[in-house]
Structure 1
């Protein structure tokens, strides 16, 4: 199955790199694409449990769904994930 989720706090290529890497490592998740222009992430998943795991991972990284709460702590996590993604992307 395939889904597209609109997320919050997506700022740059560093964010996109972190999201692609971390969500792509979730069991049952494949073909992760991040669209900076629309703040969306698309991916294929095997089961509803895999989809829920990916959504939870997004929230833990600081990129909750648009309709979810977006606390100051969540925003701060997104900046850390962004910086990590920039560093990792720079090294490759």
Structure 2
């Protein structure tokens, strides 16, 4: 298992958290998604390292922006 933390901009409420969680959870291999609304951090647990472009696309689909580390 691999755990990676991403920074997401633009989340302001519980609906934002649900949207990001749903889209990121849909990526193949993702086992768990934890979103911290206060910090904008999204912690993803997956079978193997994820392609950042896939995560960016999922976050974008939810309507938010992935911040470059």
TM-score interval, smaller chain: 0.7 to 0.9
For CA contacts below 8 A with separation 6 or more, give which structure has more relative contact order: 2
Q: Give the TM-score normalised by the residue count of structure 1.
A: 0.62
**Displacement over 3 Å in runs of 4+:** none
TM-aligned CA deviation for residue 56 of structure 1: 2.0
Q: Which has the higher strand share?
A: 2
Could you tell me how far apart the structure 1 residues matched to 2:51 and 2:45 are?
9
In angstroms, what is the RMSD of aligned CA positions? 1.9
Indicate whether 1:65 and 2:66 are aligned: yes
Could you tell me how far apart the structure 2 residues matched to 1:66 and 1:33 are?
17
The equivalent of 2:51 in structure 1 is 51
Could you tell me how far apart the structure 2 residues matched to 1:4 and 1:24 are?
14
Aligned residue for 1:5, secondary structure, equals strand
